Amino acid sequence: MCVRSEVFTSIAHVIQLLDTESELAKQLKIYLKNEHARLVHIEKFLSVINNELSQARGKEEQYFSNPINVYLFFKHLTTEWYHIKEMTSPDIRTIIHRNWLFPSLEDLTGTGTSLLRLQDTYQFTTSQMANGEIDLKFRSQKLTSDECYHIGHLAYTNNDFHYALMWMQEALDRFDEKNKRALIRRIDILDHLSNATFQEGNIENALALTEEMLAIDPNHVQAKANKVYYASLIKSQTLSKDQREDYLASSEKVGSNGKKNFRVRKQRQKNYLELNEICKALCRQNRAKLSHKHQAKLFCRYRHNNHPYLILRPVKEEQLFDEPTILLFHDVVSDTDIEKIKVLATPQLRRSLIANATTNTGTPVDYRVSKSTWLSDRVSPAVARLSRLIGAVTNLTMETAEDLQVLNYGVGGYYQPHADFFQVLENGGFTFKNGNRIATWLTYMSDVEFGGATVFLAVDGHIVPKKRSAVFWYNMFASGEVDYRTAHAACPVLIGNKWIATKWIHERGQEFRRPCSLDSML
């Protein structure tokens, strides 16, 4: 600031000060305008947060059972609060910087990837997902263009160009030039949309989208290069009339708000493992598909095994499948014991791992989305009671069984097809102190509103989680050979909070309880 003294001695100089005050007033007006815009932005964000809190408080489990609500919640805490922090005073920044529990960007990415998995498994349209129409009882907020772009970008970085294209198109349809809160530009969406379209094999569409980019920014270097490249490819490729008619019949319009006749394949190219495709089809079923021949062999009965623990209170047994034998026991665990086990497990939950035969350790993987812990019989009478029940019902010893594994699935939580037994590799691999996992007992500790089924691929089996029930099957034949028919998967949880408890029973000690047989199919 420049200060001049003795201005009062000249009216001419006093008049000049009007210019100073005028410029100051102009700058203050600009400041107030910016400050008003900043405060309006903060007020709008606060309104969104208050709306979120009012919906979630008192019904937290129901609210967060909707995966889109979780995604939006994580987005607020990982990105939007950061931008708000930068717009506030130092005092507010200090409060935000306190040691609060915040999710990481990995959580946001994981949730977005889970939404893509749910869409792929249960075949929702992108519009249904973005409008929050996956849970008719408890709809979520609609996704913005920014949020659709983020999900599309996740698909793009994973080379999943089919869904990248769908989500970028949704982002483009929802884009509003007047939205000052938008973090992305139209040209950013068009860039990814054109590249994904090209990767899906639609060069004409990719070229048209690239030209739209150049209309916005004629100097966009990559777009200029892509235009030349796409044009040369189109020139070198000519489709026959029949090929073109077939292509148009199997495609739908995409582009800027439907103004241009862009097209993309409706169906995803089948470049995924057949096993996963079968698994996803089973997850979409409401129940198992059984022939009349197999249905005739199945039964329901009360089981007590002449065991003192069950004589006065036999369990309700339902045979679901006969090859392999898979049994479902109804109402075998009390609500009280289930809640006690959940309380014990919750503070100890850690990311679920899979056994690594090379390192003989556990490894986190993308195809198992859950947290788990292990509870021994010593930690609580509730855990000990469950072990005692399993032993009585199966007539197998629990002396060599593993501790109870308690597992809670996350957003879109699932476990891809796998078998519970360990495979003995030629190079040694795992060592089995108590033998292999001869059998599995899986207790459902919660109902799941939609999704989360246990599916068995060999028998087209689909088992819906029902609280207090349990599934039991042998992983090995009586001959000691492993039974690959027991390969199963946990379907992605769409709506709900899935809890299970698994007891893996080992071979040692079962010699007289399940005698060995030379018949490899028993």
User: Could you report the per-residue pLDDT of 50-62, keeping only the tens digit for each?
Assistant: 988 898 899 888 8
Task: Name the nearest CA neighbour of 166 among 140, 127, 202, 109.
Answer: 127
Same domain, yes or no: 404 and 464:
yes
Q: What pLDDT was estimated at residue 40?
A: 86
Same domain, yes or no: 85 and 110:
no
Mean pLDDT for all residues in the chain? 87
Q: Which residue has the higher pLDDT, 335 or 234?
A: 335
- Residue 259 — pLDDT band, cuts 50, 70, 90? very low
Which of 94, 121, 156 terminates a domain? The answer is 94
pLDDT tens string 367-396: 889 999 999 999 999 999 999 999 999 999
pLDDT tens string 171-188: 999 998 777 667 789 999
For residue 155, give the CATH number of its domain. 1.25.40.10
3 state DSSP class of 499: strand
Mean pLDDT, residues 417-446 taken together: 83
pLDDT tens string 75-99: 988 888 777 777 777 766 676 666 6
Burial environment of residue 393 by CB neighbours within 10 A (0 to 12, 13 to 18, 19 or more): buried
CB 499 within 8 A of CB 447: no
Total-model pTM: 0.85
Does residue 257 surpass a pLDDT of 50? no
Same domain, yes or no: 89 and 139:
no
Same domain, yes or no: 346 and 464:
yes
Does residue 271 surpass a pLDDT of 80? no
Same domain, yes or no: 412 and 467:
yes
Q: What pLDDT was estimated at residue 38?
A: 85
Alpha helices in 346-495 (DSSP H): 381-394
Q: What are the tokens at 241? A: 């009339």
Mean pLDDT, residues 119-145 taken together: 89
Q: How far apart are alpha carbons 84 and 481 in whole angstroms? A: 60
The Cβ of residue 271 has, within 10 Å, a number of other Cβ atoms equal to 6
pLDDT tens string 202-222: 999 999 999 999 999 999 999
Q: Which of 7-11, 108-112, 485-489 has the lowest mean pLDDT?
A: 7-11
Q: Which residue has the higher pLDDT, 290 or 491?
A: 491
Does residue 247 surpass a pLDDT of 70? no
Which of 94, 116, 134 terminates a domain? The answer is 94
Same domain, yes or no: 316 and 396:
yes
Instruction: Give the structural domain span for 353.
Output: 292-506
Mean pLDDT, residues 12-28 taken together: 86
Q: What pLDDT was estimated at residue 21?
A: 85
Q: What angle do CA 303, 309, 315 make, to 5 degrees?
A: 30
User: What is the tally of structural domains in the chain?
Assistant: 3
Q: What pLDDT was estimated at residue 261?
A: 42
Mean pLDDT, residues 4-31 taken together: 82
Mean pLDDT, residues 226-253 taken together: 70
